[in-house]
Each structure stands twice: as structure tokens, then as C-alpha cells.
Structure 1
Amino acid sequence: MTDRKVNGEQLALMFREGAAVLGANVKKVDALNVFPVPDGDTGTNMNLTITSGVREVDQKERHHAGNVAKTFSKGLLMGARGNSGVILSQLFRGFSKSVEKKETLTVDDLQKALQEGVDTAYKAVMKPVEGTILTVAKDAADTETGHNSGSPAGWMEEVYKNAESSLQKTPELLQVLKEVGVVDSGGQGLVYIYQGMMQSLYGITSQQDKANNPSMDELVKVEHHQNAQSHLSSEEIEYGYCTELMVKLNKENGAGQSFDENAFKQEIARWGDSLLVVSDDDLVKVHIHAEYPGEVLSKAQRHGSLLHVKIDNMREQYEALHKDRQEENPGAKEADTPAGAPFAPFGFVTIAAGEGVQALFRGLGAQEVVAGGQTMNPSTEDILNAVTKVEAETIFILPNNGNIVMSAEQAAEVSGKHVRVIPSKTIPQGLSAMFAFSEDASPDDNDKKMKQALSEVTSGQITYAVRETKMGGLHINKGDYMGIVEKDIATAGPELETVTINLLHELLNKESDIVTLIRGEGGTEAVEEAVSSFVEETYPDVELEIHDGGQPLYSYIIAVE
């Protein structure tokens, strides 16, 4: 690119190629997570976040650079998942504000936009930590503009190089990175994004297999997750049939060589929503929520032969799910607010994975439980949709995961309601906060009591290692069980029972009153019998409770009060 200015189309391509390069390296970024737990998802969260932004841009006009940046920022904001995704959205939120009135962008404009993005992101983080994505973004934004003759491509190359250099220094700034021998995962994700943005300005478009970007299965999972959170009743589902199909492109008449994915999207978009299209030289995969799926199939057949078709009635699925929930919580229907009735004084939105854990929160009064947690961080939009459904004067959000707190805060900020985030970082903290809530207290008093309750419970978790590593003086083999206290790995070994007992040794003391085990996937009666014997013999005054949580990946969640 020899132009001295970046127009809207070029900026859109920069964002798209940034997403493409990150998408091709998601697994590498995920593998950099410090903890060897099975839910290391920095790359996945950043990928889904930036994909949301690109999808928003692809649906709007792309002539005005400021409008493109604004649209991209909106998509990132609503699609942000996890702390890394929220920080990424804040980087481009500041970028967008800086250029919102500019039709084209000079190098100086781009540099100021990156700097405003850094300022916005730092303000969004309560306690910024150096050696993270923030440091990489800050160092990249410091790239001078005077050495490239005003060339956006040349300057963006320097931005990329400075970001890479900063990334390699992150282990010197964060001891835990140095101990494990990795660079910061969020910073690495940002470097990939800048690499793609640079390549686009040099006319290099990504040729990676599109399967390296979010897979159709991943994107469909996200769409269904959002859909499940966005409807109050089956009647509100405008497009009732989840339609998935695979088309083998018909090369005999040349269609396979000239298939235009964007034109195809426009052709079938009018038949529904939640449209996803993934194509390569031979195949097209389609997902859409449509009211008349036959029309979609007919349009698709014009391009080739149908290899696979799957159609589900979402209204029937919703009714079945709603019926199951009513049976689990029979009082829920009576508790619904009648039309025209005054709002309840308080409401709750909480995030949890596992039917049993979700039932615990509903039993304590949560009106909306967003499905998510370790394995699937909900987006800002998911949480916002849940907040929208709660008819209460003051709404409390309990994230129950440190990687969801920022998304919750972002949802609260844009909700337009009186929303308070109680920054629970574990399931035990969330439950403790809800127990501390009082209907008779004021919003301020409840806020204070619930936040105080977070520190009155100690949280433990049992999961398994996805790779071999050394942390905190422990040698951990791949597949070992790990006992985690708050954020630290306290014990590890090949036997679930031994690790669970060792973790209880770390958690319990003479001041303990109650220990609660929440059983997840992999939990066994044998382990629970051993725990019961251990507690009875070692801490006879401590009460033991066991609940079936059904949470994935974590054999046990443990709360000690």
C-alpha cells in the first residue's frame, strides 16, 4: 500500500485480517495460559470477541473510516468474552472515539487512536498489571510516526515489531510467566492482531484455512448460547427453525470457482437471523434461524448439492426447557412480575455452569442464571440480555468467575438500569454473597454485606492438568489432578481421592464451621466417603454438606466457611 491515508474499506480489511491471523493461531494463544487447567481460553475469548466485531463491520457500509471503527467497536463491546476480550474491546473503544469524525486516517491519526485505546483500556482495569496485554498495547502505541514517510503500512510494521518486542519482555515483568516459561497470552493475541493489520496494508490477505478461525461448531454454540439468553417466551422467537446445512459446490457449471460468499449471505439473510456461513473451494456450511427453512434450502441448492441438512424447532425446544425449569423450581412462575405491576426492589443475575449449581442459585432467588463459567465465558451481550429480563429496581450481578467480572461490569455500564456488580470470582463466593443478602436492607447495605461475604468463604477446586509444568515448587504431570486454593495450585497428583483430602488439609482449620462439596464431572461416591471420614475424624466439629453440581471439568468445587 503506497497511499498515505487509510479509508473505510482499508480499515475494515485491517480488522478482518487481524482477526484472521489471530484465528489461525488460537490454539497457540490458549496454550500460553499460565495455569495448566483445561479451560485455558484467552485465545478463544479474544477470537470470539474480534469475530463479533468483524461480523458487525461486514453488515454495514464501509466508506467512512470513523464509522467503520465505531461499528467494529460496538461489535467488540457486545461480543466481549473474558478479561482479555473486554480489554481488547476497550482498546478499540478508545481507538473508535479518537477517529469517529474522520473519513480517512493518516499515520498520525492511527497513532493517536492507538494511544487513546491504551488510555481507555488502562482506565477500565481497576488494578492494571504490567507484563500483560496492556503493556504490549502501550509499547506498540508509542511507535513514532516520523520515520516512515507517512506510510501507514511502514508505520504499522513498526507497531507490530514493537508489540512483538514488548511481548518477549513480559516474563521479566511478571514472575509467574518467567516461572512457567511463557509470554503473556493476551499480549500474544494482540501481536497476532497487529500482524494481520500490518499484512493487510501491504496487500497480503490471509490464505489460512478458514477452519482455523472460529469453527462453525464454535460459532453455532455461541449463537445458540445468545439465543437461549435472549428470549422471554417461545412466542418471541421470530424465526423458529434452527437450520444447518452443508452444500457441495457444483463445479461442473463453474459455480465452484465463482462462488461469492458475501453475495450468498445477502441472498439468504432476508430469510432469518443468526446467519453464519463458512466456505472453502468445495464446501459451504450454513447456519441460520429461519421461519421458512425450505426457502433457504432452495437458495442453497442453486449453488450445488445438499450433503447434510439439520432442522430443529426452537419453539418446541424452548417450551421443553421451560417446562423442565418449572419442574426444578415450581415457585418461579408465581414469582413472575405481572404486566403493569411495580418492579420488585431487588433482582439477581448470576453466571454458573452445571444444572445442579444453577439450581442452587435459583433456589436462593436468582431470577436469571446465565449458562457459563470456566468452559464458556458469556459475552457482555449475554449478560446484558439477562439483565434486561429482570424487572427490579436494583439488580445485582454475580459473575462467579474472575474472568467474567469485567464483562459483567461492561454489561452494567451499558444497561441503562440500576445494576451493581458483586465481583464474586468463584461459585462459593457467589453463594456466600446470596446468603448475605437481606430483603429488608437498602441497596447500599446489601452491596456492602454481599461484598464483605466474598472474603468470608475460602474456595477450592479440583481439576486436571492439560500439560506438564512446574509451579509453586510442584512438578505437575499431564493428567494429574490439581487442588487449587483461590488462585494457587496447592497440591497435585494422580489420585483424585488423595488430592481432594490434601486440598482439604489446606482449606480447613480450627476456625472452620462448614465445608461444602459440590460434585462435578468425575466426582465419585468413594471420594465423598473418604472426605466424610476425614472430616469426621480430623475436624469433628465441622459440618459437611455435599451437593450434585454437575459442573464440567471440575470434579469438585469446595467452600469452607
Structure 2
Amino acid sequence: MKAGAESLMKKMQHLNDINVFPVPDGDTGTNMASTVKKIAEDIDAEKNGSIGEVSRRIANSALEGSRGNSGAILAQFFQGLSEGLKGKMKISTEHFAEAVRQATERSYEALSNPKEGTILSVLRDWGKHVQEKSKETKDFTELMKSSLSTARKSLKKTSKQLKELQKAGVVDAGAQGFVYMLEGITQFIDSGKIEDIENLKLQEASVSPNKQASINFSTEAIAFRYCTEFFLFGENISRTEIRKKLESMGDSLIVAGSDSRVRVHIHTNNPRKVFDAVLEYGEIKQQKVDDMHQQHTDVHDETAQSKIALLTDTSCDLPESLLRKYNIHMVPLRVFFDGVEFLDKITIFPEEFYERLKKAKAFPKTSQPTPQDFLRVYQQLAAKFETIFSVHLAGKLSGTLQAAKMAAKEVIENTGKKIYALDSRNTSVGLGLVMIEAGEAIRAGKSPEKVLQVIRNAVNNLQIFVSTDTVKYLVMGGRVSKSKGFFAKLFNLVPVITLTKEGKTYKVATAKKGTAIREKLLSVLEKKTRGCKNRKFAIVHVAAPKIAEWYAKQIQERFGQRSEFIMEASPALGAHAGPGAAAVAVLSSFE
């Protein structure tokens, strides 16, 4: 298995380049490599055990490491193989053939709409040959060599079985990955040599546009935008029921695993609806949602900007139009309400968050992305960009930046790409203004060194001021002590909050709630920006659009400038400031 993993991983970039079906997002190689690398590493860590025990470990590892369509199908194949080899201490070629038959059936069963001309076709044809040949020979070497020839012939046919592949002039990437794996296993049987799997990296080269499959495919042609994956843990989980529940919510549906642990993969326009539909079956873990529109743009759109990628987290507030304009990628923070996990701005949006916040008895929790979240995104971006600027909310407020730095270090070592994990020392609308500056610099064709300078200048000249309507949520979130909260409520006082140059929260002023606190914010704003030549403003609010509009009008009258944008604030800000709050960020230039 390690030899098969090595063979596939060496060809990972080629698989990315020929990735056409079901969506040409250039990640089939990375997804399959992730699956087999996890298997190989886990086998290495625990080498002893019967065939039945080892096959079970392989199945579990494949399920944990699987990503994407082909990765999920491969995981289900190993799950079926494990079921067929359960309890076996040693096996014959016929035992193996029967397990392969069962594995192939499980692979087909996992999909709501199996397509011929994919990895499934090669699995089936190869499996049939294994069954027939096992009756003639007891020699596994002979069996694997002859079945590999059949797999190669089946692979070649895939280029004619699907119109998408025929048009692009390629074979199916997932099927090719499976054949690469078989080739590695067969070569190992011959030579007995294998490279240390740790020397193989999940990203070996950037995508070369001239090597990609020739595809005339628009982003709009992707009917279902979000590649959604997750684990479901429970008891007596019916994969058939889950498949029936979800099949109308998108396409490329795969439900793999056992009756206690299920891996779901689906392309959908509504990830939240998918999660809600399966909650009754168990606990959802390891949620992952990728924007395939953005992935397609990264890989195939020749107008995509330069070789520099921009990444931030969902504490950053920017309208969708600006995210698209500057091709800004996002890693979601996690939000917990009553023990249920949501992905910020993917499975829960600010409007719903604030409705829940008003009724919540317990304070919701926000959680930083994990290093693994960043690792996955960095690996994807490193395959397509030479430099990545990863700019995040203040390190003093969250461990997000630290998680980003940990992941960046690993990807830099593995790929040699440049990744800058940077502290904005701000959040929300302030971080949004920094990303606009970075995006403009990239669009202007500036070098990575110049873009880095632009980001650092923006961070140094950025200020954010937040007016609140209550101290209730500041107390609940631990930002204000209960005693101070009591007296503030008693005297009807609320604060204006800012962030220091180090990114710490700081009370800059206090006034009566209502118009008084908003006037106080504007007074502070005028004082802090006095003498500057240019200003850029942006405004966010927490379920308070009229207050945001009031600020926009006042800024227009007092400073003669329109706000860059107005929008609802992310939970990272709003959870602590509470409904009725609003924030004004200003980027000043004193030159």
C-alpha cells in the first residue's frame, strides 16, 4: 500500500492538470494524495496485525484522509475491502477477489448517481479481471500484473465514455490515480523497494497552465458552488437514508463509511441545509466547505491576478463584490450555539447569528480555524500561486494568526513557496480595508515585496472605533467585568472601543447610549485623523442598519467622503459588541 501511495503522490500534479470531471477545479491529485498519504503514514506507525486488522486500519485511515470525489470513492473502496477481509489471518487469491468484488459494490453504492467513465469503471473492470484470474492462479504476483493490464485498458476507454473527457482529450483523473496506485504496488512486488513516504510532499509543483487539460468551461457552468464534506458519528447510521435525504440538494453525492462513522461528500449551493438534514443521525465533525467557483477561477481564468494569492479569515468584513474583485480567499472561523457547530459565513450568516444572539441564554463561542484548516487551504493555493499573503485578525484577540503561522511553516518547507502570515492588528471592517489595499496593489502589478510593504503601511495607518448600545454582551464575553457592567447599566453609559497599535481592545471614550455615544465616536474620529491628507472609511453594524446609515451621512458631511462600503458585521465583532453596535474603520494617509 505504501508503494501504491508513493506512485500516486509522485504523479499528483499530473492528476491536478487533467482534472475535468465532475468539476475542473484542479484538485483531484491533491485530494487522492491526501487520502493515500494518510493510509501510508498510519500503516507505518503500526506495522503489526493480521490482514483483517491491517485492512480495517487502511479503511479508517482512508476515511479520515479522504478529500473530494475520488478520495471519498477510494475511501469507500477500502471500506468494502475491509469488510471482505474481516477476521482473516491469511488469504488466497480467491479470498482477495471476493473482497475486491465487495469493495467495488460498496463504491457504487456510495454514490447517488454513479457515472461510467470514471474511477468506478476502472474499479469494476479491474475487479472483474481479478475475480476471473483468481480461479486460474494462486500467485498474487501474477494476479496483480495481469489485472494491471486490464486496468490500463479500462482507463484508456474513459476518454471516450464521458463527453467532458472526450472534449478535453484526457482520461479520468480519479481513474488515472487508481491506476498509478496499482502500478506502484505491482512495481514493488517486482523490486521490493519503496521510498520513504515522508519524503513525498502533498504539493510538488505549481499548476502549469500550458499542461492543463484544454477546457472551455465557465464558472457559471458549475451548477453547485460548494464542495461540502464532513464526518457523521453516531449509532446504526443508515447510509441509504442519508443518501436519499441529500440527493436532491446537489450532485456528486457520496456517502461512505460504516454504521457508526460516515463520511459525506456533496456539491451543493446550501451547505447549511445539508448539515441540518443529517443532524438527527449523529454528531457532525470536521466540516469542510470549498468554493468551487473560486477554485475554478484560480486554475482556469487567465485574467486571474498574477501569481499572488490573498487569504484572510471570516472575521474580515468585505462585500461579496469586493471579495470577487480582488479574488480574496477566506478560512472560516467556527461558531458554536448550544453545542452545535457552524462555519462562519458558510453555514451561518450574520443576520441569523444576531437573531440567535438576542434569544441566547448562554453566550455563543467563536473558535479559531485549526492549523489543519490552514494547511489544506495553503496546499491548494501553493499549487496555483507563487506567493500567498495571509492576513488575519489581531493576534492579541485570537489564536487564528498562530494557527496560520504553524501551517505556513510546513507548506513553505514542503513547497518552497512564499507564504506571509501577517497580523492586521485589527478585525472586521478594519481588516477589510487592509485587504482592499492589498488587492489594489496586486491589480496594479506590484511585486510581492511592494505588496508586503503596502499591507504593512495599511496596518500601521488603520484605526477602528466601535460604538455600542449595551454592555451586556461585553460582560457576557468577558471583555468588561460584571462590576463595571453593573455601574454602566445603572448610569446608562456605554463605551467607544478601539484597538491599540498592538491589537488590544481599549476603551477610548464613554457616553450615554444613543446619539451621545455616536457623536462621541465621531469626535474621537476627527481627533485621531486630524492632519491627515487622505482618508478611507468603511462601516459595519450589528443588526443596526439605520445607525450605520447615520454614520455614513455624518462622515459625508464632516469629512466630505463616502464610505467604501456598509455591511453587517461578522460575529467576531458582533458577538462581543452586541445588537445596536456599529463600527467605523478609517485608513489614513499623512504623506
Larger radius of gyration: 2
TM-score between both structures, scaled by the size of structure 2: 0.40
Q: TM-score, normalised by structure 1?
A: 0.42
